Structure 1
Amino acid sequence: MSKYFEIECSKNGLRVGKLVLDDLQLTTPLLVHSGRVNHYLLPKQVWETNTRALYYDPVIFAEKLGEKQLRDLPNLRQLFAWKGALFTTSGADEIAKLAKPRGYKANGVNFRLPKEGQLISLSPQDSLQLQEQLGADISEQLYRAVDYYSPIDDLTAGVALTNQWTASDSNSLFPVTGGGLKALHRKSIASLGGSRLFGYRITQTEQIDTVAEVKRNLLTVIKMLPSESLRVTKVKASLEQVIAALLVGVDVIYSDVAVHEAVTGNALVANGKRLNFDHARFANDWGVIDPNCGCSVCTSNYSRAFLHYLAKTDSPQYLNLILEHNLFWLNQFIIKFRSQIN
């Protein structure tokens, strides 16, 4: 695969870049949505929301399918006929829930999938091959996942093992670990011996509780990274945390915010407000979700009253329509954010 990243302009610590993956060109900052969207919408519908990139966790995907072995997973691009970019995680966070402490070894990790799966021994190289099997355009190296708020001894041990696992593959994302401790971040990055990679994944961000801490930690790590490399992180399913990552100069942000808001019944509108049409006040509201939105839900003139009806009758169409709107709205939000940097 031919891929490269370059910064096209920058302003006050923020930047707009070009991420080229074979014939597909993406503009950063980029919000990469969870592959969960394919559970509710057809891939064609997802594409029509201007979504151009999805991310998957291979271990969670295997659990959803009830697989007993990771090697049985299909190529996601073929499965969903997806023509956009595909980002994958190493599965490290989910593995941490499945593996026993003694399962972590110098050469990889041993764990079992649910459904009485056989023991899986996953090496750092196996992890990269698995992500390639799934059809990933951007993959990440395996790391020892430790909770952000763990004691310093646990965080230190996590960094030490992750450093042992460092792969020679310079095209995959290098995982920067260490909780919120600057010294451990520096130790994590130092394991590369001065090598500059294609990109870095700042881990553990999705475990942080407050927006202020998200900003502080991301900014601390970013200052240690080569300016020309791709910066990637994953945040909670929260628009506020997405914005926090944007404001410190992250290039690629993984988040399940679109699905999360839809599942809770919320449609995103101007200024990040949420509308839940289950409320009685929408029963006779004939306006669309957002008159300034160009999504297919709003341009089809589906009224708030109609959405109220779907919500009150527990129609599955309610979640689908709200998700379609949220995806489009979030993608437009990112486009507007980029325009302020140019």
Structure 2
Amino acid sequence: MSKYFEIERSKNGLRAGKLVLDNFQLATPLLVHSGRVNHYLLPKQVWETNTRALYYDPVIFAEELGKKQLSDLPNLRQLFAWKGALFTTSGAEEIARLAKPRGYKANGVNFRLPNEGQLISLSPKEALQLQEHLGANISEQLYRAVDYYAPVDDLTAGVELTNRWAINADNSLFPVTGGGLKELHRKSLASLEGQFGYRITQIEQIDTIMEVKRNLSTVIKMLPSESLRVTKVKANLEQVIAALSAGIDVIYSDVAVHEAVMGNVLVADGKRLNFDHAHFANDWGPIDQNCGCPVCTSHYSRAFLHYLAKTDSSQYLNLILEHNLFWLNQFIIKFRSQIN
């Protein structure tokens, strides 16, 4: 089956569509959760929260497994027996932390993994091949990651090298860089036209919601209307909402895990509950009377969650993560239904 993106309806700059990837059809807007969910839940549990897509960073994945070479990484789909869609980043942001400035070359980048691995020379083509090996349905082209607030000269150098690395590759996302500077965005987009999709980078580095909205709005106006729009935001609901409101089609975010690790449970209107608080000790209701998640429908009470929180049980994080994943997926579905 061919891979394609199709806009089905739009309203005031927002759009609802479908993303067809091999055997998967995903409705957009779509929130793609971090593969970190597999640290805490079985893939079957993740699936039961209506999660249909996960994203991974191959360099972080290699660090977690203690690999010395990226080529030693296993296929993600086989490893986790995951039957949903897989998105991958190029690892560019983590590589920027590991590579020395002189490691960036016209034909790729040289860096070492922190576990004293051999020197890795990664070309743009090899970055895409690596993601294909991992089982990605949607991959991302390699780019030179620079901090959003870096000096103009550094941002310019990042755009120029990223453009030099650009590849005409089907079904991969082209990275749009340039910090918050419109002229650099234009320069970033000048190298290729008519791409399947674009990843607007650096958004998760931005300090304020207002600047997130401004930057996304500026870049989106420059993108081909028929192409897929993708970005990665900070692990907070406010940035997710800002990206949705800007008209982004696919959002990568670790918000579900982040909130669960903090002990927070997402409920109506994006409010957060933390069952460590004493007033939940005798609360026998579910997290949310109207929630259809595996936790709420299993009749686990707030009092029980309080008990797990107070006894530092690992089950507390697992259960509230299940709820958070389901809640976020339902939130996206409701948002999409309003685009008509």
TM bin (shorter chain): over 0.9
CA distance in 2, matches of 1:23, 1:101: 41
2:216 corresponds to which of 215, 218, 224: 218
2-structure distance, mates of 1:62, 1:262: 24
- Normalized against structure 2, the TM-score is what? 0.99
The aligned counterpart of 1:293 is: 291
Tell me the alpha carbon deviations over residues 16-45 of structure 1, each in whole angstroms, 9 at most, x when there is no partner. 011001121000000000000001000000
The alpha carbon displacement at 1:171 in A equals 2.2
The structural deviation recorded for 1:246 is 0.2
CA distance in 1, matches of 2:60, 2:134: 13
- Deviations along 1:38-80, one digit per CA (max 9) or x if unpaired, are 0100000000000000000000000000000000000000111
Classify the secondary structure of the residue corresponding to 2:120: strand
CA distance in 1 between partners of 2:269 and 2:191 (Å)? 42
The aligned amino acid for 1:34 is S
How far apart, in 1, do the equivalents of 2:55 and 2:23 lie? 19
* Secondary structure of residue in 1 paired with 2:230: strand
What is the letter of the counterpart of residue 135 of structure 1? G
For structure 1, the 5+ residue unaligned runs are none
Q: 2:320 aligns with which of 319, 322, 327?
A: 322
- Equivalence for 1:57: 57
Unaligned runs of 5+ in 2: none
TM-score with structure 1 setting the length: 0.99
Tell me, what secondary structure is at the counterpart of 1:314?
Answer: coil
Deviation of 1:9 after TM superposition, in Å, equals 0.3
* 1:176-191 equivalence runs, <5 A: 176-191=176-191
Listed as ranges, the matches of 1:69-84 within 5 Å are 69-84=69-84
State the partner residue of 1:240: 238
Tell me the residue number matched to 2:23.
Answer: 23
For the residues of structure 1 that align with 2:328 and 2:318, how far apart are their CA atoms? Answer: 15
**RMSD of the alignment, in Å?**
0.6
1:265-284 to 2 correspondence within 5 Å?
Answer: 265-284=263-282
CA distance in 1 between partners of 2:170 and 2:186 (Å): 19
Cα distance in 2 for residues equivalent to 1:3 and 1:170: 9
Q: Partners of 1:235 and 1:22 in 2: how far apart?
A: 26
Q: Distance in 2 between matches of 1:243 and 1:78?
A: 33
Q: Is 2:144 the partner of 1:144?
A: yes
The CA distance in 2 between the partners of 1:171 and 1:324, in whole Å, is 31
Of 330, 335, 339, the match for 2:333:
335
Q: What amino acid does structure 1 have at the position aligned with 2:84? A: G
Cα deviation for residue 168 of structure 1 reads 2.0
**Deviation readout 1:96-133 (Å, 9 max, x if unpaired):** 00000000000000000011100000000000000000
AA in 1 matched with 2:5: F
Q: Per the alignment, in what secondary structure is the counterpart of residue 54 of structure 1?
A: strand
Taking the aligned partners of 2:79 and 2:302, their CA distance within structure 1 comes to 34
In 1, the alpha carbon distance for the partners of 2:233 and 2:281 equals 35
Equivalent residue for 1:93?
Answer: 93
Query: What SS class does the counterpart of residue 27 from structure 2 fall into?
Result: strand
Aligned to 2:338, what secondary structure does the other structure show? helix
Deviation at 1:2, TM superposition (A): 2.2
